[in-house]
């Protein structure tokens, strides 16, 4: 009974950790124009720091996930929390564009990777029922970032210079994340005794090895779908504030668009979690990816604040809602003992997809003076993600890790 109650503490800790970590990293879109004006660095150059951050997050995700499988999630998220706070402080002192790109990109991005995959893997192990809802609530915590950390960054930038503002955000990260990391525990089934490589806990073919999992069509399809899904919404998310400012909307009002998108995303995560538990995670994911594609395209037609609000609310509800479902599908198809690596792999693909948006959008804006082609391209990527999701098939019931059964997709 105690562990049944404590699992919601894990959800709360995961939500707080994700909110602060993602919020700290996504403070950069708010700082984008002030940094460029204060330093003379180009919008593309500053945006590249975010691209490097997504690449670092992607490349570090499987490593952090594997480490959390071996050591447990607590030491991993604790290290990530400390590194994140230190990295933000160092980035605020950067004296050159290259230094800023490397410090903010490599270390902030790498530290965020230590939070996402280990916490998602941890939460899936604590829940046998209400799993989609639990994972979505952790993701909802991350979705609180545009309503908490982004307005904080916007308020700070109106009162102090960007360096001081970023240093304050580093302090906030340290004060909130380190205590939350200490609350994290392994799932009880893994805490009781180490699970052997061939053990058969629920969630995948009982004798599947890690190598077989990573080579399976199911894993590869999860990766590629998540890559195109994240590439779809990366550019629109990162450049929404700059796009609105370019349309003549004041910066504080533009940040409220970003915050509304996050608020809608909070509702989307909860709604998609409930729908995933009721109708199946894959079915809801497929539908969400199709709507997401058209949501990205809708930005082409907006110019006024009210139009931005309407599109941002719809787009945020959808893209945020679909993201937690990848972890649920992973847990339904692969053993718990390798969740850190599997979810880390999907996070890696998502990070690579997210890395495409900031620099691509910056290049498009610097070249054409507007973001139109960014949203058209995002629409095409969204359709690709939708088509890929249609081809995913779970492992056949009763399949084993060896032989053709584990290597061939079964029926949906």
pLDDT tens digit sequence for 62-109: 889 889 888 889 999 999 999 999 999 999 999 999 999 999 999 999
Residue 206 is predicted with a pLDDT of 65
The phi and psi torsions of 397 (rounded to 5 degrees) equal -60, 135
What pLDDT band is residue 399 in, cutting at 50, 70 and 90? low
Residue 409 is predicted with a pLDDT of 35
Q: What is the mean pLDDT of the chain?
A: 85
Instruction: Judge contact between 97 and 45, C-beta under 8 A.
Output: yes
Instruction: Judge contact between 200 and 322, C-beta under 8 A.
Output: no
Per-residue pLDDT for 374 more than 60? yes
What does the DSSP assignment read for 311-355? HHHHHHHHHHHHTTHHHHHHHHHS-GGGHHHHHHHHHHHHHHHHH
Residue 190 is predicted with a pLDDT of 66
Q: What is the pLDDT of residues 107-120, one digit of tens each?
A: 999 999 999 889 98
SS3 198: coil
Largest CA distance in the chain: 63
SS3 223: helix
Please give the average per-residue pLDDT across 194-217, as a whole number. Answer: 66
CA angle 27, 32, 33 (to 5 degrees): 135
The one-character DSSP state at 103 is I
The helix (H) or strand (E) run that includes residue 176 is: helix 162-181
Alpha carbon distance 182, 58 (integer Å)? 25
Domain boundaries, the chain: 2-187+205-393
The domain defined by 2-187+205-393 folds into Growth Hormone; Chain: A; (1.20.1250)
Q: What is the pLDDT of residues 136-153, one digit of tens each?
A: 888 777 777 767 888 888
CB-hemisphere CA count at 13 Å for 7?
22
Alpha carbon distance 134, 140 (integer Å)? 10
Alpha carbon distance 132, 272 (integer Å)? 8
Alpha carbon distance 32, 14 (integer Å)? 28
């Amino acid at each position: 009974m105690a562990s049944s109650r404590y699992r919601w503490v894990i959800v709360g800790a995961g939500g707080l950790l994700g909110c602060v970590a993602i919020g700290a990293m996504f403070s950069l879109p708010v700082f984008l124009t002030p940094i460029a004006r204060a330093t003379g660095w180009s919008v593309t150059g500053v945006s590249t720091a975010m691209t490097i951050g997504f690449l670092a997050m992607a490349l570090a995700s499987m490593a952090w996930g594997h480490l959390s499988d071996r050591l447990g999630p607590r030491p991993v998220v604790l290290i990530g929390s400390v590194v994140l706070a230190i990295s933000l402080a160092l980035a605020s002192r950067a004296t050159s564009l290259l230094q800023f790109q490397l410090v903010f990109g490599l270390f902030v991005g790498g530290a965020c990777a230590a939070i996402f995959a280990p916490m998602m893997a941890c939460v899936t192990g604590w829940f046998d029922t209400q799993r989609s809802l639990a994972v979505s609530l952790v993701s909802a915590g991350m979705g609180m970032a545009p309503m908490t950390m982004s307005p904080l960054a916007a308020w700070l930038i109106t009162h102090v210079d960007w360096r001081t503002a970023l240093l304050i955000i580093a302090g906030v990260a340290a004060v909130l994340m380190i205590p939350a990391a200490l609350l994290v525990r392994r799932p009880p089934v893994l805490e009781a005794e180490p699970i052997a490589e061939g053990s058969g806990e629920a969630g995948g073919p009982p004798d599947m090895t890690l190598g077989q999992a990573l080579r399976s069509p199911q894993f590869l399809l999860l990766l590629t779908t998540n890559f195109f899904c994240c590439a779809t919404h990366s550019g629109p998310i990162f450049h929404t504030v700059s796009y609105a400012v370019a349309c003549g909307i004041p910066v504080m009002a533009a940040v409220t668009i970003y915050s509304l998108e996050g608020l809608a995303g909070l509702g989307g995560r909860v709604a998609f979690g409930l729908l995933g538990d009721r109708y199946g995670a894959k079915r809801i994911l497929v539908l969400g990816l199709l709507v997401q594609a058209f949501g990205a395209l809708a930005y082409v037609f907006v110019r006024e604040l009210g139009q931005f609000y309407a599109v941002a609310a719809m787009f945020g509800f959808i893209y945020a809602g679909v993201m937690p479902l990848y972890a649920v599908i992973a847990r339904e198809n692969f053993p718990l003992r390798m969740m850190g690596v599997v979810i880390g792999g999907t996070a890696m693909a998502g990070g690579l997809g997210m890395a495409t948006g900031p620099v691509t959008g910056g290049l498009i804006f610097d070249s054409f003076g507007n973001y139109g082609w960014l949203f058209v391209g995002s629409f095409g990527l969204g359709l690709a993600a939708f088509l890929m999701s249609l081809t995913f098939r779970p492992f056949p019931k009763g399949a084993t890790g060896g032989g053709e059964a584990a290597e061939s997709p079964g029926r949906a």
